[in-house]
Amino acid sequence: MTIRVLLADDHALLRDTFRILIDSAGDLEVVGEASDGAEAVTLAGTLRPDVVVMDIRMPGTDGLAATTAICADPALAPVRILILTTFETDEYVARALRAGASGFLGKDVTAEALLDAIRTVAAGDALLSPAATKMLVSRFLVTPEPAAGTELPEQLGSLTAREREVMIMAARGLSNTDIADELFLSPLTVRTHVQRAMTKLHARDRAQLVVAAYQSGLVQSGPPATR
């Protein structure tokens, strides 16, 4: 199945480069290009891509505002946002994830890593570049701007003990395979627990599950887990 990609970047040369790269992959296809955030929102609504590769700094409506608009539209719930920017700062990482982005990469990423990131985001398993993950997990999501209201903590009560355990481990940076090894489960079973937790908490993908874990207080700030 071909993954349909929308490019949003104000630099035409970069869009051309990304289009050539993405179209060269047999399982990926660029279905549209936007030169600013407002156009990205419009095209996301009409084209319904699987993934939007979104720049942050664009004239008018920027990539963060466009991400917020797309992710707030229930009709666009299947659309995943991959932020690709030269400004890989902790502030942008947190703002992008709070806006609903599924992934965050720097523009110095290799061609193969970009293609793999698009595939991963489309599958709902994306998180971030290694640098962005460390920023997120170690110190940023527990700073101001917590989840609004009490709805999320109440929803945590719907999780089983195992789903909470798996959610905590995922939020600390462990992969499904790592979690399976720790809990003596199969990776498929771990994936099922992750998917059920996402469904109960209305998380778009794994990245949003991690956001929920930190903003609800289920996981506290500390060094990211390593294997």
pLDDT at 106: 80
- List the one residue out of 111, 110, 93 whose CA is nearest residue 102: 93
Question: Angle CA(91)–CA(96)–CA(101) in degrees, nearest 5?
Answer: 155
pLDDT at 54: 95
- 104 Cβ contact list (under 8 Å, min separation 6): 82, 83, 85, 88, 92, 93, 96, 97, 128, 129, 132
What Cα–Cα distance (Å) separates residue 127 from each residue in 91, 117, 158? 16, 9, 24
Q: Which two tokens stand for residue 168?
A: 């905590």
Q: Running DSSP on this structure, what letter comes out for residue 49?
A: -
Half-sphere exposure of 164 (CA within 13 A, CB side): 12
pLDDT at 96: 81
Q: What is the pTM of this model?
A: 0.70
Domains of the chain as residue ranges with CATH: 3-140 (3.40.50.2300), 151-215 (1.10.10.10)
pLDDT at 133: 54
pLDDT at 221: 56
pLDDT at 135: 55
pLDDT at 197: 92
pLDDT at 90: 61
pLDDT at 49: 97
**pLDDT of the chain along its 227 residues, tens only?**
899 999 999 999 999 999 999 999 999 999 999 999 999 999 999 999 999 999 998 999 999 999 999 999 999 989 999 988 776 566 777 778 778 888 888 888 889 989 988 998 888 765 555 455 555 555 545 554 444 444 566 778 899 999 999 998 888 778 788 899 999 999 899 989 998 998 898 887 777 787 788 778 787 655 444 44
